[in-house]
A and B are shown apart, each in its own frame.
Chain A
Amino acid sequence: MSAALRSFETQWRTRAPDALQPIREAAMERFLKLGLPSLRDETWRYTDLRALAGQSYREAGCETPGAATPGTTTSGTSVSLVNAEQHAATLSMINGCPVLSADLTAINGIEINSIRELYNQNPSSLRRFFDSASDADQRRWVLLNTALFIDGLYLKITEPVSTPIVIRHVSTGDGAQSAHPRIIIDVKPGASAIIIEHHLSEGDITPLNNSNTHIALGKAAQLEHYRVYATGPGATHLDALDIEQSQDSSCRQFTIALGGGLVRSSLEARLSQPGASLDSYSLLVGHQDRHVDCVNIVTHAAPNTRSRQTARAIAGDVSRVIFNSKVIVNAGANNSDSKQSCRGLLLSPNAEIDTRPQLEIHADEVKCAHGATTGRLDPDMLFYLLSRGLDRETAQSLLVYAFLADVLTGMSVSSARAAIENALISQLPDSQTLRKFR
């Protein structure tokens, strides 16, 4: 047994049982039996966890006074992604522990609860968000999250809410600590929301974040969801996002990787009923020696469902970015319409980008397209700009900026877009020049 696995087992044994105990026990048992994923596992073939396995992790504590107040972070992003006047609420998760305050319950259309408390009172309302222990390798860390998450936030959206809700996930402390943030977003029929999850770290720490967010969209519900990884370079972030969509629901999801040392980001979406529509955007920035591994699995489980995946990967220095996407069309899910587009841009001879779009189709009448390209800046585009008199640095930066535009322009929250753009630009060559294009 690896040092990491042993330390997780120790954390588990010293944990006081709660109402979720049977679910947690099953998950932990499964996790210990399967062990950490390795390069032999299909969705982990590009990410070597041996260094992680050799570490011992202790539970990150909840009591960290002052951690929730804005301060400096190691990520290079501003602490706040959204201007104060432009959002409905900011919720904080410190080392995976929700910080709940009374005034958060007063927002129209949103109910915010502790997952543990709600489960204590009314287990049936939450049971569907805890799936039976799965052996799928992309879900391995979700098992550990289920076993070890201290508490989480359950957000129920009951009406259309137009201003964004921000969830700040902050890692703070020192040394090798692990946290398991858990979020459930339940958008009821006809309701809508914009939710931004912002992952940050404070100080120079090497935390392991193993987060899970579960989104359920009711009939005709709409959600724009962001997850922004902006932790420091010492952080390891394993994040799993589950999306379940009912009839005529629509989800726009943005995954933005611009922080962390090792980032593994998965998205599993299930379009369960006709009319469900998903637009997934991924902006994966490899900087310095960062490793970003993004796995998307989208299942069309009903007829007349639609999915779009747009990924832009940029890798500079000695970084590595991986984007694996898979679309599965179940038998009977006729008239499914899916598109996968992934473009990679290499900015350094020592960087690497791997993309793998896949299709698994079990229905007859479908429209599925996929494309993946990776390369350096397009010489024709560069020559065109130079031939108009632009200097080389400006021309190159402009093309890098243009490369990202497809994802950035899809964001409806202007202040979040500006903050993300700003943080992103600071990690690209010629950032001074790039700022002029904004």
Chain B
Amino acid sequence: MLKISDLTARVAGKEILTGVNLTVNAGEVHAIMGPNGSGKSTLAQVLAGREDYEVTRGSVTFEGHDLLAMRAEERARAGLFLGFQYPVEIPGVNNVYLLKAALNAKRKAAGEPEVDAYEFLALIRQKMKFMQMSESFLTRGVNEGFSGGEKKRNEVLQMLVLEPKLAILDETDSGLDIDALKVVSTGVNSLRDPARAVVLVTHYQRLLDYVIPDQVHVLSGGRIVKSGDKSLAHELERRGYDWVMGAQVA
């Protein structure tokens, strides 16, 4: 589904990704872990198509297509979803309006008819219930005045409505209390499917107790320095990132 080869990227003239190699197959859940500043969020943003992040080398294919040649909106319509670490507040743009426009953009690209307003509201209410979100969400601006936890729930809600093929969740677990973490995890797990893949970018192993990954990678200094199965996450939790980075030096 996703194949990243020797990817390097710069942000504001500074090289952040220094040669990332990663293959994610349909049906898999991958976790990318790593210390602060290792390039995790940059990788997520580059994959979603942020333009001010400059790709300097390497290639990324998504379902066989050259992802880097696609604009952010094209990537989204092709089935890639980024759950933001810091979802931006957009006062004046209604949550429901955005979701509907997003879903219709995707359907239009797939040659499907636009969703009917009634049908859409029913869908969104059902997903909101699943994510345990309050009704007031319907009338509010995008993330406007949301707490950190509400913003993350909203990201997962959007993901559930858009049903992406590949979801990249950037620290969706950070800032959540244990109840919210469970709700978010249930949301992510509900999307697990042989035809889909999920990439969890996370700093802590905590989320991985609820969403069990097939593979765990450690990103450090802008590239993946270690990969393993879920036990790697536990080992990292026990021994700290210095262990991996130290091993690298040795």
Contacts and interface: CB of A to CB of B under 8 A. Distances in A.
Interface in B1-59: 48-52
A344 to B, nearest CB: 16
Contacts of A26: none
A390 interface: yes
A402 B141 contact: yes
Nearest to A400: B92
A229 to B, nearest CB: 23
Given A385-B90, A387-B72, 7 more contacts: A385-B93, A387-B49, A389-B162, A390-B105, A402-B91, A402-B141, A405-B92
Residue with the greatest number of chain A CB neighbours at <10 A, chosen from B106, B109, B142, B158: B142
Contacts of B81: 387
A93 B140 CA distance: 41
A389 B98 contact: no
A406 B105 contact: no
Given A379-B52, A394-B101, A402-B141, A386 B90 contact: no
A384 B90 contact: yes
B71 interface: yes
A391 B88 contact: no
User: How extensive is the interface on chain A, given as a class?
Assistant: 20 to 34
A7 to B, nearest CB: 46
A399 interface: yes
Interface in B51-106: 51-52, 71-73, 75-77, 81-82, 84, 87-88, 90-93, 97-98, 101-102, 105-106
Contacts of A395: 73
Contact of A388 (B52, B76, B92, B109): B76
A404 B98 contact: no
A395 B93 CA distance: 10
B92 A389 contact: no
Interface of A: 378-381, 383-392, 394-395, 398-399, 401-406, 437
Contact of B92 (A384, A387, A403): A403
B76 A389 contact: yes
A402 B92 CA distance: 4
Contact of B109 (A378, A386, A389, A401): A389
A384 B73 contact: no
Nearest to B97: A437
B96 to A, nearest CB: 12
A254 B246 CA distance: 64
Contacts of B48: 383, 387
B98 A388 contact: yes
A390 B102 contact: yes
Closest A-B pairs by Cβ, 8 of them: A402-B92, A405-B92, A389-B76, A389-B105, A388-B102, A386-B72, A402-B93, A386-B73
A294 B141 CA distance: 29
A223 to B, nearest CB: 26
A406 B92 contact: yes
Given A384-B88, A386-B72, A389-B76, A398 B93 contact: yes
A394 to B, nearest CB: 7
B93 A390 contact: no
A379 B48 CA distance: 14
Interface string B141-153: 1100000000000
A313 to B, nearest CB: 16
Nearest to A437: B97
B73 A381 contact: no
Nearest to A403: B92
